[in-house]
Amino acid sequence: MENDALIAQAQAWLAEDPDPDTRDELARLIDSGDHAELAARFAGTLQFGTAGLRGELGAGPLRMNRSVVIRAAAGLAAYLKKHNHHDGLVVIGYDARHKSQTFAEDTAAVMTGAGLRAAVLPRPLPTPVLAFAVRHLGAVAGVEVTASHNPPRDNGYKVYLGDGSQIVPPADAEIAAEIDAVASLEAVPRPTTGWETLDDTVLDAYLTRTDAVLSKDSSRTARTVYTAMHGVGKDVLLAAFARAGFPAPDLVTEQAEPDPDFPTVAFPNPEEPGAMDLAFAKARETNPDLVIANDPDADRCAAAVKDGGDWRMLRGDEVGALLAAHLVRRGATGTFAESIVSSSLLGRIAEKAGLPYEETLTGFKWIARVDGLRYGYEEALGYCVDPDGVRDKDGITAALLLTELASELKSENRTLLDLLDDLAVEHGLHATDQLSVRVKDLGLIAAAMRRLREQPPTELAGLRITKAEDLTEGTDKLPPTDGLRYTLDGARVVVRPSGTEPKLKCYLEVVVPVATKTDLPEARTKATTLLTTIKQDLSEAAGI
């Protein structure tokens, strides 16, 4: 982009920007002649897709800011009206990140100006409360302002339609087209009043619904340590645990209150190295039965257990299998579902129980739409345990159900690890791992995918690849998506670009037969070796 044209574009954006913070930021960049930084912000627009919007806060069309949010809200309003929701209700929630409340209020103003009705949740609350509220209030759409577990500098914009599920194609493309059609912010009516700020009635209804997750007379003795990871989960989780009659969790006080700067973690994601260190330190002091963590918007649930002399995180696939086994034990009926990047163990559990099972593309936007869904999960710590209440992942209800399971096992002098051992003997040891590469240049991800397509590996860790699928072509049961899936003798690999972060993600699974519990140590050693070697071979094949 020529510098004069770049400056002109930035000045035009500046003239419309309603936020004094980003106005000052952009004016400084223009005055300093920082063409490189301006080009980074004006080389395109933040794309609206099935994850909505997510990106770094700042001025310009490639950042998250009020101008981008107002356009997104105007596009959503236009889409809703084209679909005959002329005066429907749009309910809006938000987390505690920088600018979240402002973005929520801007969205309410745009909806009101478009003739729709808008209602904003009373304060920063977990994303599953918003997902619940959409159906509970009979809304035609919902918006959650959150960047979930992204770095502190990010924010995001997640859209639900009236069925309480996140948007999927073609709705995302239709909304994106309406956003592109917004000529200027001046053309978007934004009254300063006219929308409703909800009271706690919706939250109370959500908490009442959490009672349905647990068995009526179940054991509820498990003691927990809990971290909210500087997010919005604490008060709602504590209220849910108190209603259920569990012992009050011991809080990781340094991470208990919302803080948009996330001072104790580099990435506020329980899966990231170091994020759980304070929780583990608390567990060493109090010796609970279970450690529980939510991500900042509390739609994900992480768990850790004492393994030998210290604490370790359970993988998302391990928690997914444990919850499935618990539901089967309780006599659950309905379909069990997971995404293609999650462990195949769920299918084995469902088959043994005589339950329907489905595999979907990555994301709860797909899992939530499975007909007759009873339980769905994804390896990235997402679990839908009450689809009649929340058609999305829900870190609060998942924590309740897992703590109930830990309590029941405790009453039998057993642990979650004992149940995992039982599942390994019954179905084979399903060991999973991930190769995840974060990049600054998204071109590196495209290059790695291209290399794998043009020079596909024929074996990994000495295991022959028996089937290679390019998921961009779709399959009999899956719509097209950017990904590759390899089936090996006793293993499976899925490679895909992340939909929410600048990462290339490779999901690995090996299955090792186990005859008795005495075989488990050897099986785990074999699985670890295979996963390590698959990582190395795949990294070399992808050039990453």
Cα 105 from Cα 12, distance rounded (Å): 24
Question: Would you tell me how many other CB atoms lie within 10 Å of the CB of residue 227?
Answer: 30
3-state DSSP of 404-450: HHHHHHHHCCCCHHHHHHHHHHHHCEEEEEEEEEECCCCHHHHHHHH
Say whether pLDDT at 1 is over 60.
Answer: no
Question: Are 141 and 313 a contacting pair, CB within 8 Å?
Answer: no
- What is the helix (H) or strand (E) element at residue 301, kind and residue range? strand 301-307
Q: What is the pLDDT of residues 360-402, one digit of tens each?
A: 999 999 999 999 999 999 999 999 999 999 999 999 999 999 9
Domains of the chain plus CATH, in order, are 3-199 (3.40.120.10), 222-425 (3.40.120.10), 428-542 (3.30.310.50)
- Is 67 an annotated catalytic residue? no
Cα 371 from Cα 377, distance rounded (Å): 15
Say whether pLDDT at 343 is over 90.
Answer: yes
Cα 389 from Cα 394, distance rounded (Å): 10
Q: Given CA atoms 507, 512, 516, 520 in this order, what sign does their dihedral have?
A: negative
Question: pLDDT at position 432, please?
Answer: 96
- Identified catalytic residue from 67, 100, 148, 343: 148
Q: What is the pLDDT of residues 393-415, one digit of tens each?
A: 999 999 999 999 999 999 999 99
Question: Would you tell me how many other CB atoms lie within 10 Å of the CB of residue 250?
Answer: 19
**Can you tell me whether residue 43 is helix, strand or coil?**
coil
Q: What is the pLDDT of residues 281-334, one digit of tens each?
A: 999 999 999 999 999 999 999 999 999 889 999 999 999 999 999 999 999 999
Q: For strand 141-145 and strand 89-94, is the pairing parallel, antiparallel, or unpaired?
A: parallel
Cα 372 from Cα 508, distance rounded (Å): 28
Q: What is the pLDDT of residues 31-48, one digit of tens each?
A: 999 999 999 999 999 988
How many angstroms separate the Cα of 146 from the Cα of each of 91, 92, 178? 14, 11, 22
130-165 in b/e form (b: 16+ CB < 10 A) is: bbbbbbbbebbbbbbbbbbbbebbbbbbbbbbbebb
User: Residue 123, Cα to own-chain centre: how many angstroms?
Assistant: 21
Question: pLDDT at position 457, please?
Answer: 92
Question: pLDDT at position 475, please?
Answer: 84
| For residues 56-77, average pLDDT | 97
Q: What mean pLDDT is reported for the chain?
A: 95
